[in-house]
Amino acid sequence: MASPVFTRMLDAIDHGAFPRTRKWAWRGLYDMLSWFWRDDDWRFMNYGFVPDGAPFPLRPEDEPERAFIGLYQQAVEGLPVAGARVLEVGSGRGGGARYVARYCAPAVVVGLDYSPQTVQLARRLNGDTPALSFQTGDAERLPFADGAFDIVVNIESSHCYADVPAFAREVARVLKPGGWFTFADMRGKAMVAELDRQLAAPGLELAAARDLSAGAVAALDAAEARKRARIGRVWLMQRFMAEFAGAQGSMLYKGLANGQVAYVARRYRKAA
Ligand SMILES: C[S@@+](CC[C@H](N)C(=O)[O-])C[C@H]1O[C@@H](n2cnc3c(N)ncnc32)[C@H](O)[C@@H]1O
């Protein structure tokens, strides 16, 4: 049975209730997680994606994170990342920004997150990676100049925002003309059309749309044993954490598997 706290949380997310309260409640949750769970081998907080077909190349030391890296690999595949200035909004513990910095030869990668504890942790976990930095800031008011970035990445973060259209306008502002915005997140199936309206900021042209749900379920399966082991190490809130982590049998897992929840990816290009 699902944790009642988690059930209410998902319901509220889907219906957009109390957006400001929800936004700051999410921040408290991420602050708490990053303060409590400081494991050196935990750099991702997404549900993951396993693509169809041949596995993408990874160094042996990154293999344990393959399922979570999959969301970033699909996000940047084919984009002109080499030499680019990349911003990740909602960078969490920094594993995705680290992947982009280590595999795609960008000029710089900046990870931005509104949870100060999480930014502090991301700096500690990824301090060995050149051209990568992290700072605190809000997706809805990006602390950067107009046209500062070539590529903006946003992975599994937007469901926490109070005002997604404000975020999309900010992305359009900080991108240089011809720059790319690559996005992935989940929504209740009925809310996907609304998400597409919210992301369609003036100046951003939709270039590609994908449904990643099947690959997300495959990733949850691939990560199940590792998640259960991590959750099993704590005595507190195990049921909530199993729901939060999308463990098998959780509401989120079932929703993705039965089509009630969609994990979508979008790419937009800023008009040149
Ligand atoms: C599910 S985690 C995903 C983290 C990372 N993208 C990953 O895939 O591992 C969501 C992240 O978005 C951040 N976040 C939520 N709302 C935000 C906002 N308004 N501004 C910046 N970051 C935000 C959270 O603090 C959290 O670190």
Report CA(172)–ligand 1 centroid distance (Å).
19
14 confidence band (pLDDT: 50, 70, 90): low
Residue 114 in contact with ligand 1 by CB distance below 6 A? yes
Residue 42 has pLDDT above 90, yes or no: no
Top mutation candidate among 23, 44, 88, 114 for ligand 1, by most atoms within 8 Å of CB: 114
Separation between Cα atoms, residue 185 and residue 176, nearest integer Å: 23
Report CA(168)–ligand 1 centroid distance (Å).
15
Complete edge-to-edge strand list for the sheet that includes strand 175-188: 132-136, 108-113, 85-89, 149-155, 175-188, 261-270, 204-211
Residue 46 in contact with ligand 1 by CB distance below 6 A? yes
According to the model, what pLDDT value does residue 1 have? 45
The per-residue DSSP string of 51-63 comes to -SSSPPP--GGGG
User: In what helix (H) or strand (E) does residue 66 lie, and over which residues does it extend?
Assistant: helix 66-76
Mean pLDDT of 20-47: 89
Residue 13 has pLDDT above 60, yes or no: no
Report CA(195)–ligand 1 centroid distance (Å).
17
Residue 142 in contact with ligand 1 by CB distance below 6 A? no
Report CA(29)–ligand 1 centroid distance (Å).
11
Report CA(96)–ligand 1 centroid distance (Å).
11
Residue 115 in contact with ligand 1 by CB distance below 6 A? yes
Number of neighbours of residue 211 by Cβ within 10 angstroms: 13
According to the model, what pLDDT value does residue 9 have? 63
Separation between Cα atoms, residue 14 and residue 29, nearest integer Å: 18
Residue 170 in contact with ligand 1 by CB distance below 6 A? no
The model's pTM:
0.94
Residue 189 has pLDDT above 70, yes or no: yes
Angle at 16 between CA 269 and CA 120, to 5 degrees: 70
Mean pLDDT of 239-255: 90
* Nearest ligand 1 atom to alpha carbon 138: 20
The structural domains of the chain, with segments of one domain joined by +, span 4-270
Q: Is 39 left (phi over 0), alpha (psi -120 to 50) or beta?
A: beta
Mean pLDDT of 25-46: 89
Report CA(154)–ligand 1 centroid distance (Å).
9
**Each residue of 225-243: pLDDT tens digit?**
988 888 888 777 788 888 8
Mean pLDDT of the chain: 93
Highest CATH level, class, for 4-270 = alpha beta
Residue 34 in contact with ligand 1 by CB distance below 6 A? no
**Each residue of 131-153: pLDDT tens digit?**
999 999 999 999 999 999 999 99
Mean pLDDT of 197-212: 98
2 confidence band (pLDDT: 50, 70, 90): low
* Nearest ligand 1 atom to alpha carbon 92: 27
Helices (H), 80-187: 95-103, 116-125, 164-174
